[in-house]
Structure 1
Protein backbone atom coordinates (compact mmCIF):
# COMPACT_ATOMS: atom_id res chain seq x y z
CA UNK A 1 0.00 0.00 0.00
CA UNK A 2 2.87 2.33 0.84
CA UNK A 3 4.53 1.51 -2.48
CA UNK A 4 1.33 2.37 -4.35
CA UNK A 5 1.08 5.68 -2.48
CA UNK A 6 4.65 6.56 -3.38
CA UNK A 7 4.02 5.74 -7.05
CA UNK A 8 0.92 7.93 -7.13
CA UNK A 9 2.82 10.81 -5.55
CA UNK A 10 5.65 10.42 -8.07
CA UNK A 11 3.26 10.32 -11.02
CA UNK A 12 1.46 13.36 -9.72
CA UNK A 13 4.76 15.18 -9.31
CA UNK A 14 5.74 14.34 -12.88
CA UNK A 15 2.43 15.65 -14.18
CA UNK A 16 2.72 18.88 -12.19
CA UNK A 17 6.31 19.36 -13.30
CA UNK A 18 5.34 18.85 -16.96
CA UNK A 19 2.44 21.29 -16.67
CA UNK A 20 4.59 23.84 -14.86
CA UNK A 21 7.32 23.50 -17.50
CA UNK A 22 4.80 24.14 -20.26
CA UNK A 23 3.29 27.18 -18.58
CA UNK A 24 6.74 28.61 -17.81
CA UNK A 25 7.48 28.65 -21.54
CA UNK A 26 4.91 31.40 -22.11
CA UNK A 27 6.66 34.79 -21.63
CA UNK A 28 5.33 36.88 -18.74
CA UNK A 29 4.23 39.67 -21.06
CA UNK A 30 1.68 37.37 -22.74
CA UNK A 31 -1.74 36.41 -21.36
CA UNK A 32 -4.22 33.81 -22.55
CA UNK A 33 -7.07 35.06 -24.73
CA UNK A 34 -9.64 33.69 -27.17
CA UNK A 35 -9.89 34.23 -30.90
CA UNK A 36 -12.79 36.69 -30.72
CA UNK A 37 -11.06 38.93 -28.18
CA UNK A 38 -7.82 38.64 -30.11
CA UNK A 39 -9.38 39.91 -33.34
CA UNK A 40 -10.99 42.82 -31.42
CA UNK A 41 -7.64 43.92 -29.99
CA UNK A 42 -6.33 47.21 -31.43
CA UNK A 43 -2.80 45.82 -31.74
CA UNK A 44 -3.86 42.73 -33.68
CA UNK A 45 -3.19 44.15 -37.16
CA UNK A 46 -0.12 46.10 -36.05
CA UNK A 47 1.96 43.32 -34.50
CA UNK A 48 3.40 40.07 -35.79
CA UNK A 49 5.17 37.79 -33.34
CA UNK A 50 7.74 35.13 -34.21
CA UNK A 51 8.72 32.19 -31.99
CA UNK A 52 11.92 30.18 -31.57
CA UNK A 53 13.78 28.26 -28.87
CA UNK A 54 17.05 29.70 -27.57
CA UNK A 55 18.94 27.66 -24.95
CA UNK A 56 15.79 25.66 -24.22
CA UNK A 57 13.65 28.75 -23.64
CA UNK A 58 10.81 30.03 -25.81
CA UNK A 59 11.76 33.37 -27.31
CA UNK A 60 9.09 35.67 -28.76
CA UNK A 61 9.93 38.74 -30.85
CA UNK A 62 8.09 41.11 -33.12
CA UNK A 63 8.84 40.34 -36.76
CA UNK A 64 8.29 42.09 -40.05
CA UNK A 65 7.52 40.74 -43.50
CA UNK A 66 10.07 38.16 -44.58
CA UNK A 67 10.86 38.46 -48.27
CA UNK A 68 13.93 36.26 -48.64
CA UNK A 69 15.62 33.08 -47.43
CA UNK A 70 19.17 31.81 -47.88
CA UNK A 71 21.21 28.61 -47.84
CA UNK A 72 25.01 28.83 -47.63
CA UNK A 73 27.58 26.82 -49.58
CA UNK A 74 31.36 27.07 -49.38
CA UNK A 75 31.45 28.71 -52.81
CA UNK A 76 28.28 30.79 -52.65
CA UNK A 77 24.69 30.81 -51.49
CA UNK A 78 21.18 30.03 -52.63
CA UNK A 79 18.87 33.02 -52.39
CA UNK A 80 15.09 32.68 -52.41
CA UNK A 81 12.97 35.78 -52.96
CA UNK A 82 9.25 36.18 -52.28
CA UNK A 83 7.56 39.39 -53.41
CA UNK A 84 4.01 38.12 -53.15
CA UNK A 85 1.90 38.95 -56.19
CA UNK A 86 4.94 40.57 -57.82
CA UNK A 87 6.71 37.23 -58.03
CA UNK A 88 10.07 35.97 -56.86
CA UNK A 89 12.86 33.59 -57.76
CA UNK A 90 15.45 31.09 -56.61
CA UNK A 91 19.03 31.80 -57.63
CA UNK A 92 22.63 30.90 -56.78
CA UNK A 93 25.05 33.74 -56.02
CA UNK A 94 28.73 32.69 -56.27
CA UNK A 95 31.22 33.92 -53.69
CA UNK A 96 33.53 34.74 -56.61
CA UNK A 97 32.15 38.08 -57.81
CA UNK A 98 33.68 37.46 -61.25
CA UNK A 99 31.06 34.75 -61.78
CA UNK A 100 27.47 35.51 -62.72
CA UNK A 101 24.41 34.85 -60.59
CA UNK A 102 22.64 31.69 -61.74
CA UNK A 103 18.86 31.89 -61.94
CA UNK A 104 17.30 28.52 -61.06
CA UNK A 105 13.53 29.03 -60.93
CA UNK A 106 10.89 31.73 -60.91
CA UNK A 107 8.38 31.58 -58.07
CA UNK A 108 7.69 32.79 -54.54
CA UNK A 109 10.38 31.00 -52.53
CA UNK A 110 9.46 30.54 -48.86
CA UNK A 111 12.08 28.17 -47.45
CA UNK A 112 15.35 26.50 -48.48
CA UNK A 113 16.59 23.67 -46.26
CA UNK A 114 18.56 20.45 -45.94
CA UNK A 115 16.71 17.31 -44.84
CA UNK A 116 18.43 13.94 -44.51
CA UNK A 117 21.42 15.33 -46.43
CA UNK A 118 19.28 16.42 -49.39
CA UNK A 119 18.34 19.93 -50.47
CA UNK A 120 14.74 21.12 -50.73
CA UNK A 121 12.81 24.32 -51.17
CA UNK A 122 9.20 25.34 -50.68
CA UNK A 123 7.31 27.91 -52.70
CA UNK A 124 3.85 29.34 -52.24
CA UNK A 125 1.53 32.24 -52.96
CA UNK A 126 -1.62 33.47 -51.27
CA UNK A 127 -3.13 36.41 -53.13
CA UNK A 128 -6.69 37.13 -54.22
CA UNK A 129 -8.16 33.76 -55.27
CA UNK A 130 -4.74 32.07 -55.45
CA UNK A 131 -3.67 29.96 -52.46
CA UNK A 132 -1.15 27.29 -53.47
CA UNK A 133 2.23 25.86 -52.58
CA UNK A 134 4.69 23.11 -53.50
CA UNK A 135 7.70 21.21 -52.17
CA UNK A 136 10.69 20.67 -54.47
CA UNK A 137 13.89 18.65 -54.29
CA UNK A 138 16.99 20.44 -55.52
CA UNK A 139 19.91 18.68 -57.21
CA UNK A 140 23.24 20.48 -57.62
CA UNK A 141 26.32 19.85 -59.72
CA UNK A 142 29.13 22.03 -61.00
CA UNK A 143 27.63 25.33 -62.23
CA UNK A 144 24.10 23.93 -62.48
CA UNK A 145 20.96 23.11 -60.48
CA UNK A 146 17.99 20.90 -61.34
CA UNK A 147 14.76 20.73 -59.35
CA UNK A 148 11.93 18.21 -59.12
CA UNK A 149 8.47 18.77 -57.66
CA UNK A 150 7.72 16.38 -54.79
CA UNK A 151 4.19 17.44 -53.83
CA UNK A 152 1.61 20.22 -53.87
CA UNK A 153 -0.21 21.79 -50.93
CA UNK A 154 -3.78 23.04 -50.90
CA UNK A 155 -2.63 26.33 -49.39
CA UNK A 156 0.40 28.61 -49.30
CA UNK A 157 3.01 27.43 -46.75
CA UNK A 158 3.76 30.18 -44.22
CA UNK A 159 5.73 28.46 -41.43
CA UNK A 160 7.99 25.42 -41.41
CA UNK A 161 9.96 23.19 -39.01
CA UNK A 162 11.73 19.82 -38.91
CA UNK A 163 10.70 17.59 -35.99
CA UNK A 164 11.59 13.92 -35.40
CA UNK A 165 12.39 13.20 -39.07
CA UNK A 166 9.17 14.88 -40.14
CA UNK A 167 8.46 18.15 -41.89
CA UNK A 168 5.80 20.26 -40.19
CA UNK A 169 4.16 22.92 -42.34
CA UNK A 170 1.60 25.56 -41.46
CA UNK A 171 -0.31 26.96 -44.41
CA UNK A 172 -2.84 29.80 -44.46
CA UNK A 173 -5.45 27.37 -43.09
CA UNK A 174 -4.14 23.90 -42.17
CA UNK A 175 -1.27 22.27 -40.25
CA UNK A 176 0.51 19.38 -42.01
CA UNK A 177 2.98 16.64 -41.21
CA UNK A 178 5.12 15.11 -43.95
CA UNK A 179 6.77 11.78 -43.15
CA UNK A 180 8.40 9.63 -45.83
CA UNK A 181 7.02 12.27 -48.19
CA UNK A 182 3.45 11.36 -47.41
CA UNK A 183 1.32 14.36 -46.53
CA UNK A 184 -1.07 14.20 -43.56
CA UNK A 185 -3.34 16.99 -42.35
CA UNK A 186 -2.80 17.13 -38.58
CA UNK A 187 -5.26 19.93 -37.88
CA UNK A 188 -7.77 21.42 -40.31
CA UNK A 189 -8.80 25.08 -40.28
CA UNK A 190 -6.41 25.86 -37.44
CA UNK A 191 -5.28 29.15 -38.98
CA UNK A 192 -8.57 30.40 -40.37
CA UNK A 193 -9.66 34.02 -39.97
CA UNK A 194 -6.38 35.63 -40.97
CA UNK A 195 -4.00 34.42 -38.27
CA UNK A 196 -1.09 34.22 -40.75
CA UNK A 197 1.40 31.87 -38.99
CA UNK A 198 5.05 32.80 -39.53
CA UNK A 199 7.10 30.43 -37.34
CA UNK A 200 6.97 27.13 -35.42
CA UNK A 201 8.85 26.15 -32.24
CA UNK A 202 8.48 22.63 -30.81
CA UNK A 203 9.15 20.94 -27.46
CA UNK A 204 7.07 17.81 -28.05
CA UNK A 205 3.65 16.74 -29.38
CA UNK A 206 1.89 18.48 -26.51
CA UNK A 207 3.82 21.73 -26.81
CA UNK A 208 3.95 23.17 -30.32
CA UNK A 209 4.15 26.96 -30.46
CA UNK A 210 3.27 29.25 -33.36
CA UNK A 211 4.15 32.86 -34.04
CA UNK A 212 1.39 34.69 -35.87
CA UNK A 213 -0.55 37.87 -36.49
CA UNK A 214 -1.13 39.70 -33.19
CA UNK A 215 -0.39 36.71 -30.93
CA UNK A 216 1.33 33.41 -30.27
CA UNK A 217 -0.43 30.06 -29.89
CA UNK A 218 0.23 26.69 -28.26
CA UNK A 219 -1.09 23.47 -29.76
CA UNK A 220 -1.48 20.20 -27.85
CA UNK A 221 -1.74 17.49 -30.50
CA UNK A 222 -2.89 14.84 -28.03
CA UNK A 223 -5.84 16.90 -26.83
CA UNK A 224 -6.39 18.77 -30.12
CA UNK A 225 -6.34 21.90 -27.99
CA UNK A 226 -5.22 25.31 -29.30
CA UNK A 227 -4.64 28.22 -26.90
CA UNK A 228 -3.96 31.82 -27.90
CA UNK A 229 -1.81 34.32 -26.00
CA UNK A 230 -1.71 38.06 -26.68
CA UNK A 231 0.74 40.70 -25.55
CA UNK A 232 -0.33 42.62 -22.45
CA UNK A 233 0.96 45.90 -23.84
Structure 2
Protein backbone atom coordinates (compact mmCIF):
# COMPACT_ATOMS: atom_id res chain seq x y z
CA UNK A 1 0.00 0.00 0.00
CA UNK A 2 1.43 3.37 -1.05
CA UNK A 3 1.33 6.61 0.87
CA UNK A 4 -1.15 8.14 -1.65
CA UNK A 5 -3.63 5.28 -1.26
CA UNK A 6 -3.40 5.59 2.52
CA UNK A 7 -4.15 9.32 2.35
CA UNK A 8 -7.17 8.65 0.10
CA UNK A 9 -8.44 6.04 2.54
CA UNK A 10 -7.98 8.38 5.47
CA UNK A 11 -9.71 11.19 3.63
CA UNK A 12 -12.74 9.00 2.88
CA UNK A 13 -12.81 7.94 6.50
CA UNK A 14 -12.80 11.58 7.62
CA UNK A 15 -15.59 12.47 5.20
CA UNK A 16 -17.71 9.55 6.36
CA UNK A 17 -16.86 10.33 9.95
CA UNK A 18 -15.41 7.98 12.45
CA UNK A 19 -17.50 6.06 14.90
CA UNK A 20 -18.32 7.81 18.10
CA UNK A 21 -15.37 8.06 20.52
CA UNK A 22 -12.66 6.94 18.02
CA UNK A 23 -9.90 9.23 16.74
CA UNK A 24 -7.98 8.19 13.64
CA UNK A 25 -4.27 9.04 14.04
CA UNK A 26 -3.61 9.77 10.39
CA UNK A 27 -0.15 11.24 10.94
CA UNK A 28 0.97 8.24 13.01
CA UNK A 29 -0.23 5.82 10.36
CA UNK A 30 1.58 7.77 7.64
CA UNK A 31 4.78 7.87 9.69
CA UNK A 32 4.72 4.14 10.29
CA UNK A 33 4.07 3.47 6.61
CA UNK A 34 7.03 5.67 5.66
CA UNK A 35 9.30 3.71 7.95
CA UNK A 36 8.11 0.45 6.37
CA UNK A 37 8.83 1.79 2.89
CA UNK A 38 12.36 2.79 3.93
CA UNK A 39 13.06 -0.69 5.31
CA UNK A 40 11.74 -2.26 2.10
CA UNK A 41 14.03 -0.07 -0.03
CA UNK A 42 17.06 -0.97 2.14
CA UNK A 43 16.28 -4.70 1.77
CA UNK A 44 15.96 -4.36 -1.99
CA UNK A 45 19.30 -2.58 -2.11
CA UNK A 46 21.00 -5.34 -0.15
CA UNK A 47 19.60 -7.99 -2.49
CA UNK A 48 20.93 -6.07 -5.44
CA UNK A 49 24.40 -5.92 -3.88
CA UNK A 50 24.41 -9.68 -3.32
CA UNK A 51 23.29 -10.36 -6.89
CA UNK A 52 25.98 -8.08 -8.27
CA UNK A 53 28.65 -9.79 -6.20
CA UNK A 54 27.53 -13.20 -7.48
CA UNK A 55 27.59 -11.98 -11.04
CA UNK A 56 31.09 -10.62 -10.54
CA UNK A 57 32.29 -13.98 -9.22
CA UNK A 58 30.72 -15.79 -12.18
CA UNK A 59 32.33 -13.45 -14.66
CA UNK A 60 35.71 -14.40 -13.25
CA UNK A 61 35.19 -17.91 -14.56
CA UNK A 62 34.19 -16.86 -18.08
CA UNK A 63 36.63 -17.01 -21.04
CA UNK A 64 38.68 -13.90 -21.62
CA UNK A 65 39.11 -13.17 -17.95
CA UNK A 66 42.74 -12.29 -17.14
CA UNK A 67 44.49 -15.12 -15.21
CA UNK A 68 45.44 -12.70 -12.44
CA UNK A 69 41.75 -12.05 -11.78
CA UNK A 70 40.86 -15.75 -11.37
CA UNK A 71 40.49 -17.13 -7.83
CA UNK A 72 43.38 -19.33 -6.62
CA UNK A 73 42.94 -23.08 -7.36
CA UNK A 74 41.97 -25.50 -4.61
CA UNK A 75 44.83 -27.48 -3.09
CA UNK A 76 45.54 -30.82 -4.77
CA UNK A 77 44.22 -33.96 -3.08
CA UNK A 78 46.81 -36.09 -1.33
CA UNK A 79 46.85 -39.70 -0.21
CA UNK A 80 47.71 -43.18 -1.48
CA UNK A 81 47.17 -43.95 -5.15
CA UNK A 82 44.92 -46.81 -6.20
CA UNK A 83 47.03 -49.28 -8.16
CA UNK A 84 45.34 -51.76 -10.45
CA UNK A 85 46.61 -55.23 -9.55
CA UNK A 86 48.36 -57.23 -12.23
CA UNK A 87 47.00 -60.65 -13.18
CA UNK A 88 48.14 -63.39 -10.76
CA UNK A 89 51.08 -65.57 -11.74
CA UNK A 90 50.23 -69.15 -12.69
CA UNK A 91 52.33 -70.75 -9.95
CA UNK A 92 50.95 -74.21 -10.64
CA UNK A 93 52.35 -74.16 -14.17
CA UNK A 94 55.71 -72.90 -12.89
CA UNK A 95 55.90 -75.70 -10.32
CA UNK A 96 55.17 -78.37 -12.93
CA UNK A 97 57.69 -76.83 -15.32
CA UNK A 98 60.31 -76.94 -12.54
CA UNK A 99 59.59 -80.64 -12.03
CA UNK A 100 60.12 -81.19 -15.74
CA UNK A 101 63.54 -79.52 -15.49
CA UNK A 102 64.54 -81.84 -12.65
CA UNK A 103 63.49 -84.91 -14.63
CA UNK A 104 65.50 -83.73 -17.63
CA UNK A 105 68.53 -83.01 -15.42
CA UNK A 106 68.79 -86.57 -14.05
CA UNK A 107 72.07 -88.02 -15.39
CA UNK A 108 72.10 -91.21 -17.48
CA UNK A 109 71.94 -94.36 -15.40
CA UNK A 110 69.69 -92.83 -12.74
CA UNK A 111 66.23 -94.29 -12.30
CA UNK A 112 63.32 -91.85 -12.23
CA UNK A 113 59.96 -93.30 -11.27
CA UNK A 114 57.01 -92.32 -13.42
CA UNK A 115 54.40 -92.30 -10.68
CA UNK A 116 53.99 -89.69 -7.98
CA UNK A 117 54.43 -92.09 -5.04
CA UNK A 118 56.38 -95.18 -4.11
CA UNK A 119 55.07 -97.89 -1.75
CA UNK A 120 56.31 -98.08 1.80
CA UNK A 121 55.89 -100.50 4.70
CA UNK A 122 52.44 -101.04 6.18
CA UNK A 123 50.65 -99.66 3.15
CA UNK A 124 52.28 -96.22 3.42
CA UNK A 125 53.56 -94.27 0.44
CA UNK A 126 56.39 -91.85 -0.23
CA UNK A 127 56.26 -88.96 -2.66
CA UNK A 128 58.81 -89.37 -5.43
CA UNK A 129 57.40 -86.60 -7.65
CA UNK A 130 55.75 -83.67 -5.95
CA UNK A 131 54.80 -80.07 -6.69
CA UNK A 132 53.10 -77.43 -4.62
CA UNK A 133 52.50 -73.70 -4.83
CA UNK A 134 51.25 -70.84 -2.74
CA UNK A 135 47.51 -70.20 -2.66
CA UNK A 136 44.68 -68.92 -0.44
CA UNK A 137 44.63 -72.21 1.49
CA UNK A 138 48.40 -72.77 1.25
CA UNK A 139 50.21 -69.73 2.71
CA UNK A 140 53.66 -71.18 2.05
CA UNK A 141 56.89 -69.27 2.39
CA UNK A 142 57.73 -70.46 -1.12
CA UNK A 143 55.91 -69.24 -4.20
CA UNK A 144 56.23 -72.80 -5.47
CA UNK A 145 58.45 -75.84 -5.16
CA UNK A 146 59.10 -79.16 -6.88
CA UNK A 147 60.67 -82.42 -5.68
CA UNK A 148 62.01 -85.43 -7.56
CA UNK A 149 63.52 -88.62 -6.19
CA UNK A 150 66.19 -90.33 -8.27
CA UNK A 151 67.86 -93.67 -7.60
CA UNK A 152 71.20 -95.20 -8.49
CA UNK A 153 72.03 -98.80 -7.59
CA UNK A 154 69.07 -98.96 -5.23
CA UNK A 155 70.10 -95.82 -3.31
CA UNK A 156 68.01 -92.66 -3.37
CA UNK A 157 68.62 -88.94 -3.54
CA UNK A 158 66.21 -86.07 -3.90
CA UNK A 159 66.43 -82.99 -6.11
CA UNK A 160 64.42 -79.96 -5.00
CA UNK A 161 63.61 -76.58 -6.52
CA UNK A 162 62.26 -73.81 -4.30
CA UNK A 163 61.38 -70.25 -5.36
CA UNK A 164 60.41 -67.68 -2.77
CA UNK A 165 59.86 -63.93 -2.66
CA UNK A 166 61.00 -63.79 0.97
CA UNK A 167 64.67 -62.90 0.58
CA UNK A 168 66.93 -62.06 3.53
CA UNK A 169 67.77 -58.37 3.42
CA UNK A 170 71.45 -58.91 4.16
CA UNK A 171 71.66 -61.37 1.27
CA UNK A 172 70.33 -58.72 -1.12
CA UNK A 173 72.97 -56.20 -0.09
CA UNK A 174 75.95 -58.56 0.36
CA UNK A 175 78.84 -57.99 -2.04
CA UNK A 176 80.01 -61.55 -1.34
CA UNK A 177 77.09 -64.04 -1.38
CA UNK A 178 79.05 -66.46 0.80
CA UNK A 179 79.40 -63.83 3.52
CA UNK A 180 75.76 -64.52 4.50
CA UNK A 181 74.76 -67.95 5.81
CA UNK A 182 71.35 -68.97 4.46
CA UNK A 183 71.15 -72.39 6.10
CA UNK A 184 72.49 -72.80 9.64
CA UNK A 185 73.93 -76.22 8.72
CA UNK A 186 76.24 -74.84 6.03
CA UNK A 187 79.85 -75.94 6.38
CA UNK A 188 81.33 -74.53 3.18
CA UNK A 189 80.40 -72.04 0.47
CA UNK A 190 81.65 -71.15 -2.97
CA UNK A 191 80.60 -69.02 -5.94
CA UNK A 192 80.40 -70.97 -9.19
CA UNK A 193 79.77 -69.45 -12.64
CA UNK A 194 76.93 -70.97 -14.65
CA UNK A 195 77.32 -71.67 -18.36
CA UNK A 196 76.26 -68.08 -19.09
CA UNK A 197 78.81 -66.82 -16.50
CA UNK A 198 76.12 -65.88 -13.99
CA UNK A 199 77.61 -66.26 -10.49
CA UNK A 200 75.73 -68.77 -8.34
CA UNK A 201 76.21 -69.36 -4.62
CA UNK A 202 76.64 -73.04 -3.68
CA UNK A 203 76.82 -74.14 -0.04
CA UNK A 204 77.43 -77.65 1.28
CA UNK A 205 77.09 -79.61 4.51
CA UNK A 206 77.46 -83.26 5.41
CA UNK A 207 74.78 -84.94 7.53
CA UNK A 208 74.81 -88.69 8.13
CA UNK A 209 72.59 -89.21 5.07
CA UNK A 210 75.29 -87.93 2.74
CA UNK A 211 76.41 -84.61 1.28
CA UNK A 212 73.92 -81.79 0.69
CA UNK A 213 74.62 -79.16 -1.98
CA UNK A 214 72.41 -76.09 -2.26
CA UNK A 215 72.69 -73.58 -5.10
CA UNK A 216 71.02 -70.19 -4.67
CA UNK A 217 70.59 -67.08 -6.74
CA UNK A 218 68.74 -63.82 -6.11
CA UNK A 219 67.11 -62.37 -9.22
CA UNK A 220 64.18 -59.99 -9.75
CA UNK A 221 63.44 -59.91 -6.03
CA UNK A 222 63.10 -63.69 -5.62
CA UNK A 223 65.41 -66.36 -4.24
CA UNK A 224 65.84 -69.43 -6.46
CA UNK A 225 67.21 -72.52 -4.74
CA UNK A 226 68.17 -75.90 -6.21
CA UNK A 227 69.22 -78.56 -3.68
CA UNK A 228 70.41 -82.15 -3.90
CA UNK A 229 70.61 -84.49 -0.90
CA UNK A 230 70.60 -88.14 0.02
CA UNK A 231 67.19 -89.52 0.94
CA UNK A 232 66.97 -92.59 3.13
CA UNK A 233 63.63 -94.31 3.60
CA UNK A 234 62.53 -97.81 4.61
CA UNK A 235 64.26 -100.44 2.50
CA UNK A 236 66.14 -97.73 0.56
CA UNK A 237 69.53 -96.32 1.51
CA UNK A 238 70.57 -92.74 0.92
CA UNK A 239 72.84 -92.08 -2.03
CA UNK A 240 76.15 -91.01 -0.54
CA UNK A 241 77.32 -88.98 -3.53
CA UNK A 242 76.17 -85.89 -5.46
CA UNK A 243 73.78 -86.39 -8.37
CA UNK A 244 74.80 -83.20 -10.19
CA UNK A 245 78.10 -81.35 -10.27
CA UNK A 246 78.42 -77.65 -9.37
CA UNK A 247 78.05 -76.45 -12.96
CA UNK A 248 74.85 -78.45 -13.47
CA UNK A 249 73.40 -77.06 -10.23
CA UNK A 250 74.32 -73.53 -11.29
CA UNK A 251 72.75 -73.99 -14.73
CA UNK A 252 69.49 -75.19 -13.17
CA UNK A 253 69.42 -72.23 -10.83
CA UNK A 254 69.81 -69.74 -13.69
CA UNK A 255 67.21 -71.37 -15.94
CA UNK A 256 64.64 -68.64 -16.82
CA UNK A 257 61.82 -71.18 -16.62
CA UNK A 258 62.08 -71.01 -12.82
CA UNK A 259 61.47 -67.27 -12.61
CA UNK A 260 57.93 -66.18 -11.64
The structure carrying a bigger helix percent of its residues is: 2
Larger radius of gyration: 2
For the aligned pair, the TM-score class normalised by the smaller chain equals under 0.3
Higher relative contact order (CA 8 A, sep 6+): 1
**TM-score, normalised relative to structure 1:** 0.24
The structure carrying a bigger strand percent of its residues is: 1
**TM-score, normalised relative to structure 2:** 0.22
